[in-house]
Amino acid sequence: MSKRRYLSPALLGSVVVIATSGLVYELIAGTMASYVLGDSVAQFSFVIGLYLFAMGIGSYASKHIERDLLRRFVEIELAIALVGGFSAPLLFLVYTSFGAFRAALYSMVLLIGVLVGLEVPLLIRLLEFQLSLKDLVARVLSLDYVGALFASLLFPLVLLPKLGIHKTSMLVGLLNALVAFAATFLLPLEHGRSWRLRAECAIVSLGLVIGIVAFDRYALKHEATFFGAPIIYSSQSPYQRIVMTQSRQTTRLFLNGQLQFSSDDEHRYHETLVHPAVATLGHCPKQVLVLGGGDGLAVRELLRYPAVESITLVDLDPAVTEVFRNVPVGRKLNHDAFLDPRVTVRNEDAFAFLDETKENYDLVVVDFPDPGNYAVGKLYTLSFYQRLRQRIPPRGIAVIQTTSPYFARRSFWMAAETIAAADFEVLPMHVHVPSFGEWGFVVAGGPGITVPRSLQLPEGQLRFLGADELPELFRFPKDMSRVQVGINRLNDQPLVSIYTEEWDQWQR
C-alpha cells in the first residue's frame, strides 16, 4: 500500500490534534489571565477576541506561503509547540519575576493566534489534490470542531485538575511537535532536508519532555521567591491554585496568588466574623450554616459554643476543604474542626445550595472571597441575599464578609445597601487585620437588631475580642463612613467593576 493512500487520513487526523491544541492554548491564556488579573468574564473575552483576531491575521498571511508547503507546515507546528508549549511557564516567570504580565499575556496570545491561523489553510492546500473541494472543506472544518469539543472537555475535566496549567501547556506543545514529526513522513522531501526537520522535531520534543519532568522543581523555587516563604503545600484544582507557605512564625494560604489568611493575625478576622454576630443573636445558635470558609477557621470559632448542634459548611472547592481536613498544618490551624461530628461539609455552589435547601438556620456565616469577578460577584447580589433571607427565621442572624471599607469604600457600602434591600436590618462593622488593613463585615437580621454590648463567651477566652472592643467594631470614622452607591443586581453586577476600579487604584 503506497504512502499516498495514507496521506489524506493522516493529515486529516492531524486536524483534530491541531484544533484541540489550539483551543487548549486559548483556555490556558484565559485561565492565567483570570487567575492573575481577576474578572474572568472580561479576561476570557479579551483573550478570545484577540486570539480569533490573530488567527484571522494568520489565515490571511498564509496566502503568501507559495512553496515548500509541507516544510512550512512542519516549521509552523514546531513554532507553535515552542511558543504554545512554554506559554504558561513563561507567563508564570513573567508574573513572579518581572511584573509585566498583561503585556506578556496579550503578546503571547497574539503570536500563538497568528501561528494557529496559519495551520488549517496550509493543511487544506496540502490536501487540495487528494479530495474534492466540497469534501475537503467539510472534512477539515468538521474535524476542527470535533477537536474543539475535545479540548473544551479535556481541559477542565482532566488536564487542568490532573496536570496543572503548566504541564498541560507543555504536553499540548509536545503533541504539536509530534504532529510536525509525523508530517515529515507524509510527503517526499529532499533527504537532507527531511532529516534536518526531524532533528528539529526531536530537539523541540525533548525540550518539552524535560520541561514536563523538571517543571515542579522550577515552579516551587520561583513560587517560594514570589510568596516570600517556603512552600509546604501546593495543588491545582479545577477552580484555583492552592499554595500554603510556612516561615518560622507564620503560615499563609494563597488562592490564585492572593493571600487568604496569615496565621499570625487571622484570629482578628475570624473572631470578628463570628462572635459579634452570635452576640447580636443574643444566645448560642443551634443550627449554623457557613457559606465559603473552606479553611474551617470560622467553624473553629463556632465550635467554641457548646450549644451548637450542627454546622453545615458549603464550599465549592473540595481541594480546599480536603487540605484543612487532612494536611497536619491545616488541621492544627482549625483545631480539627472538620473532624467534629457536628460538622458537615458540602462541596457545591452556595447559590444553588440556597435554592435547593429547605432548612432554616439560627446563624449564617458568609465568608466568600471579594467580588473580583462575576462568578463570585453573583454571591454579592440582591438575588443571593434574598435567597439567604428565606433561610433565616425572623430572629435569626447572618454575618457577611464585605471587603475593606477603607480600600474599597464604595464596594463595601454597595454590599451593605444590597443586603439591606433584601429585607435585612444591617449593622456594618470593621476591624483592623495587619495582613490586610481595615476589613469590613455586615451583621444582618430582622427588625430591631442592635449593636451588642457583650459577648456570649466568657471574658478572656478569645485572643482579640472582648467587651471593650465590641462597640468599636461598629463605629466608622469619616474616611470609611457611608456613601450612596446603589444596589448590586444579578443582571449587571456593577459591584464587580467598582471593586476592580477601587483596588486597581491602590495597586498602581
Q: Domain-by-domain residue ranges, the chain?
A: 3-227, 231-260, 265-507
The pTM (predicted TM-score) of the whole model is 0.79
3-state SS, one letter per residue, for 445-507 = ECCCCCCCCCCCCCCCCCCCCCCCCCHHHHCCCHHHCCCCCCCCCCCCCHHHHHHHHHHHHHH
Q: Given this model, what pLDDT does residue 94 score?
A: 84
- CB contact at 8 A, 151 and 143: no
Instruction: Note the pLDDT of residue 262.
Output: 95
Crossing angle of helices 191-227 and 69-85, rounded to 10°: 10
Alpha carbon distance 190, 455 (integer Å)? 85
Q: How far apart are the first and last CA of the chain?
A: 65
- Please state, as a whole number, how many other Cβ atoms lie within 10 Å of the Cβ of residue 269: 24
At residue 228, what is the residue type?
A: G
Query: How many angstroms separate the CA atoms of 84 and 151, rounded?
Result: 15
Among this protein's residues, is 349 annotated catalytic?
Answer: no
Query: Grid coordinates 482578628 are at which residue?
Result: 268
CA 121 to chain centre: 35
Where does 228-349 have alpha helices with state H?
Answer: 266-281, 297-302, 318-326, 328-333
Q: Which CATH number fits domain 3-227: 1.20.1250.20, 1.10.10.10, 3.40.50.970, 3.40.50.12590?
A: 1.20.1250.20
pLDDT of 210: 92
Catalytically annotated residue among 39, 144, 362, 367: 367
What class, spelled out in words, does domain 265-507 have in CATH? alpha beta
- Provide DSSP, 109-132: HHHHHHHHHHHHHHHHHHHTTTS-
Per-residue pLDDT, 2: 46
Among the listed residues 462, 472, 239, the one whose alpha carbon sits nearest the alpha carbon of residue 369? 239
Per-residue pLDDT tens digits for 362-396: 999 999 999 988 889 999 999 999 999 999 999 99
How would you classify the pairing of strands 397-401 and 363-367?
parallel
Pairwise CA distance, residues 360 & 121, whole Å: 60
pLDDT at 1: 40
pLDDT for residue 220:
65
Within the chain, which residues score under 50 in pLDDT? 1-6
Question: Each residue of 90-110: pLDDT tens digit?
Answer: 888 887 776 688 899 999 999
